[in-house]
Homo-oligomer: A and B are copies of this chain.
């Protein structure tokens, strides 16, 4: 990690679009993908921001991401759909599925879609924000490359399958829980490793099953699920909803998120729900305000750090970075500029 350089969201987006275009992505797909990546950088989730352009463009050039996918939505009645991402950029299939569930939930109050033959779709929170901005609740998840041992096992056959739950809030940034099932994300461990910093105890065991604070040893060993069997069970449940239910890849069938030669073929799921359809216009918004007030009025442990709702820190950071620019790690930004220049 190097010192950050600050760049506006508009300029960073233009670089990302150019980088993806040079690697072969269609213009509309490059823009869609850039939007989701920039949203993560705006929220301060830089593990899922433009840093991902390095593997994405390598995959486009290496044939692991299809530059001209035929993304298909197959309806299963009025409230369910299956989406085939055709190995294109993950954000393209995921946003197609998001549009599918939002439009169907607008009509029926509720809709579900599963996506097969997807790719890394970036952070989940940007999808949740789009749904919340449309007045909808969203439950969304994806499977991920196998990297973790299920409870009681030694083999790395499960992904760190993240889950997000989003809801609109009238008086602040949307409520967005977005988290993977381990104590900490692999991206966070890689960042500490690259920075030469230790990680907290409990995040992972080394290859011999011993506790360690060395992120490199942890990445080469056993990353720990939160709550032991609980995080493990939630990760498996996420893969049943994504991989098994989509008709796509699950568990060890999901490919490498970094490798440039074989498709990742990750699977996703999403459920949209119209709260106004359930409670009547405006009632959910009033109730979310009352809900938020109870949490935000709770006594903080540290008086200097008021209690926040899930997604609030990221939502406020987004507003700040939209105004003041995004501090991007200088080495990452140099990579992005190089890729945008066509290298």
Contacts and interface: CB of A to CB of B under 8 A. Distances in A.
A299 B236 contact: no
B112 A298 contact: no
A326 B167 CA distance: 43
Interface of A: 76-80, 82, 108-112, 114, 137, 149-155, 157-158, 163, 165, 167, 175, 177, 179, 182-183, 209, 226-227, 229-234, 236-237, 239-241, 243-245, 247, 250-252, 271, 273, 275, 277-279, 283-284, 287-288, 291, 294-295, 298-302, 305, 307-310
Given A157-B298, A300-B154, A110 B109 contact: no
A34 to B, nearest CB: 27
Contacts of A245: 137, 273, 275, 278-279, 284
Contact of A240 (B76, B112, B155, B291): B291
Given A153-B300, A278-B114, A240 B77 contact: no
A251 B155 contact: no
A53 B230 CA distance: 27
Contacts of A153: 295, 298-301, 307
Dominant SS at the A interface? mixed
Contacts of A152: 300-302, 305, 307-308
Given A80-B277, A245-B284, A237 B177 contact: yes
Contacts of A227: 179, 182-183, 226-227, 231
B277 A77 contact: yes
A123 to B, nearest CB: 14
A278 B82 contact: yes
Given A241-B165, A291-B251, A111 B112 contact: no
A299 B163 CA distance: 27
A208 to B, nearest CB: 12
22 contacts: A76-B109, A76-B277, A77-B109, A80-B109, A110-B110, A150-B298, A151-B307, A152-B308, A155-B298, A157-B298, A158-B295, A165-B237, A167-B240, A177-B237, A179-B227, A182-B227, A233-B310, A243-B291, A245-B273, A247-B279, A247-B283, A252-B294
A243 B155 CA distance: 39
Given A153-B307, A291-B239, A108 B82 contact: no
Contacts of A247: 279, 283, 287
A278 B80 contact: yes
A108 to B, nearest CB: 6
Contacts of A287: 244, 247, 250
Contacts of A298: 149-150, 153-155, 157
Given A150-B298, A299-B153, A300-B152, A179 B291 contact: no
Contacts of A237: 165, 167, 175, 177, 310
Contacts of A251: 291, 294-295
A79 B77 CA distance: 12
Contacts of A300: 152-154
